[in-house]
Chain A
Amino acid sequence: MGSDTLINATWLDYLLVAIYFGFVLGIGVMARRSVSDSIDFFLSGRSLPAWVTGLAFISANLGAVEIMGMSANGAQLGLPTFHYFWVGAVPAMLFLGVVMMPFYYGSKVRSVPEFMFRRFGTGAHLVNAISFAVAQLLIAGVNLALLAGIVRALLGWPIWVSLIVAGAVVLSYITLGGLSAAIYNEVLQFFVIVASLLPLTLIGLNRVGGWDGLTEKISAASAGASSSSDAPPAEQQLNAWPGEALSGFDSPLLSVIGIVFGLGFVLSFGYWTTNFVEVQRAMASDSISAARKTPIIGAFPKMFVPFIVIVPGMISAVLVAEMIELKDGGSPAGGASGDVTYNDALLLLMRDVLPNGLLGLAIAGLLAAFMAGMAANISAFNTVFSYDLWQRYIRKDHSDDYYLRIGRLATVGATVIAIFTAQIALGYDNVMNYLQTLFGFFNAPLFATFILGMFWKRMTPTAGWVGLVAGTLSAIAVDRAAAAGVFELSGQGVAFLAASVAFVVDIVLSIVVSLVTKPKPAEELRGLVYSETPREDRTDPNEASYPWYRRTAPLAGIALAMVIVLNFAF
């Protein structure tokens, strides 16, 4: 067996993986039995230290997207990938903390569909609940495909067997209570991932001769590239701006606009401000001030995450034989899903530079991230399906037990469906392209409707659902047109364009429809629209009494300054 698998793990590696899951399941069991009121104290989230909720906040997202997607992107495109962090995530997290969070916290909504229902009524609620459920199933498929890739790399099984096994593993993880102590697990996961990716990056840099060695090798590979290579030129890979390789636009000006508006504003703000899997982490804290600081504190570590996910991807592209061949236009065999793709960048680098032991730590971190990620998707699906769809539209007024049973069936059903949606994800050789496409379909129109509905009280219920439907359809239309060859954009340009079109179409249609239909009476909009929400509902009376380093605005200012410096430095 041993020699024909991608990664040769030994008992030592499996021991480290087993220890991690022992910890996670042990915490789950303790949490459910509530062996100590300390556990209740931590789980209820009251007065949890801000660094804990901040780390949980970014860890809930440090899954497939971050680790595999960003390293794949780093391997393929190089430094422009940093925009996802420094133009995308960090400013969006600051915006969430400064502008949106007081409002979420004050209005006490628990989920996106719930906000839609209260703001716009049934139509928008139904559209949003269905599209949210579909999005969760598709993203669960991405996590499952990556998880199966690791199973396959370790054990050498065919991909469909690996998919089924990975699905079964996730189901048992959910059933055994792997999610019941989510905050504990997320913080643990963060440390395990950093503990494995940081050595990977340092050893990788050591192998290529430091940062200078890396840039030299990228330039050399680019200069000697064969004609079938579609890798971008070295100067584009080694400078973050203007990022033509990422946006696919030839003109630097259009590229910058595409990145700032498409990636930065629409996709990232849309993702971070409407993704309640993450926003929930902040809502658990004890005051508006703490809720606002959660994403802002999270932004500090988030700024440095790209160094341990994108840089290893870039190293992999010049160090690992298969990746070099792939980037030179070849199609080497032997990746996690059959042929080598950019998604394998990190796994292959781990194989080449990590000794047994550290390898196990890295595997534990990856398994943890994908499993927790998929489990969170499935649970989010489960909630929306049982309560927002089944209870509201299909079978009302049954017992709690009944809905719990439906929820369990939904969990199993979602896992089975994810095995099929994973097939779609496997069709993309850079999983980041697929994820950004999905975010364009689902998050961009949602963000448009959300932000217009929050700040414009005239927006009507009809406009709510019309905007969502039209936004999603126009994003799909742009994507299909690109797939059919109507126009050509490489990198993630199509996803940025689709997201931007969806956003604009949603806003324009919502305004037009609002002007010809009847708005909700203003008194029903308290807590849902900015101008109708009294100031005391969205400010924290104690905020002014804290020292400056515990107040929202100064922290956000420091984070913003740091991220601007980083943008200029690279």
Chain B
Amino acid sequence: MSTTTSETDGRPKKAGLFDIRNIIGALMALYGVILALAGLFGEHEPEKTGGVNANLWTGVALLAVGLGFFAWAKIRPIVVPPDVDRPDDDPTRPAPQRKRPPAH
């Protein structure tokens, strides 16, 4: 991995919490836990699924995927360069936005 260091503290600056993999991981793991609990303690509804405890198994799978994303982000962190350009607004998707740069 790149070992770019930021000039202020001498350590590489990681994307950390805002790394998209951590956000995906958090959502998947949270869904996984909730579904697994629902599968363990909630109604099982085997007549719908043909006998499989679908909530439980999907929950376990999502939890595994979520942890996988955390691990990936941990093992190969994204290093943010010391100075980052402010992004331009996406012109096809204005909505509430930072001000448009002057047209000329």
Contact = CB atoms under 8 A, between A and B. Distances in A.
B48 A352 contact: yes
Interface in A17-52: 19-20, 23, 27, 30, 32, 34, 36-46, 49, 52
Interface string B29-57: 01100110011001111001111101101
A44 B86 contact: yes
A70 B95 CA distance: 29
Contacts of B10: none
B12 interface: no
Given A355-B43, A358-B35, A380-B92, A42 B100 contact: no
Interface in A148-195: 174-180, 182-184, 187-188, 191-192, 195
A333 to B, nearest CB: 22
A191 B87 contact: no
B58 A195 contact: yes
B28 A195 contact: yes
Contacts of A34: 86
A191 B28 contact: yes
Chain B interface residue number, banded: 35 or more
Interface residues of A, number: 68
A135 interface: no
A206 interface: yes
Contacts of A382: 94
Nearest to B86: A40
A36 B97 CA distance: 17
Q: Which of B39, B88, B93, B103 has most chain A Cβ within 10 Å? A: B93
Contact of A203 (B23, B52, B80): B52
B23 A188 contact: yes
Contacts of B87: 40, 43-45
A41 B20 CA distance: 11
A93 to B, nearest CB: 19
A443 interface: no
A108 interface: no
Given A12-B42, A42-B15, A383-B91, A180 B23 contact: no
Contacts of A207: 49-50
Contacts of B98: 32
B97 A180 contact: yes
A6 to B, nearest CB: 15
A354 B16 contact: no
Contacts of A176: 96
Contacts of B38: 12, 356-357
A404 B85 contact: no
A199 B15 CA distance: 32
B99 interface: yes
A403 B86 CA distance: 22
A46 B26 CA distance: 24
A34 B86 CA distance: 9
B42 A280 contact: no
Contacts of B57: 199
A379 B28 contact: no
Given A175-B96, A383-B92, A356 B35 contact: no
Interface of A: 12, 15-16, 19-20, 23, 27, 30, 32, 34, 36-46, 49, 52, 110-111, 174-180, 182-184, 187-188, 191-192, 195, 199, 203, 206-207, 276-277, 280, 284, 352-358, 361, 375-376, 379-380, 382-383, 387, 400, 403-404, 407, 411
Given A30-B18, A403-B100, 18 more contacts: A19-B27, A19-B34, A37-B84, A40-B85, A110-B91, A111-B91, A182-B90, A182-B93, A184-B23, A187-B20, A187-B24, A188-B23, A195-B65, A206-B49, A355-B48, A356-B42, A358-B58, A380-B92
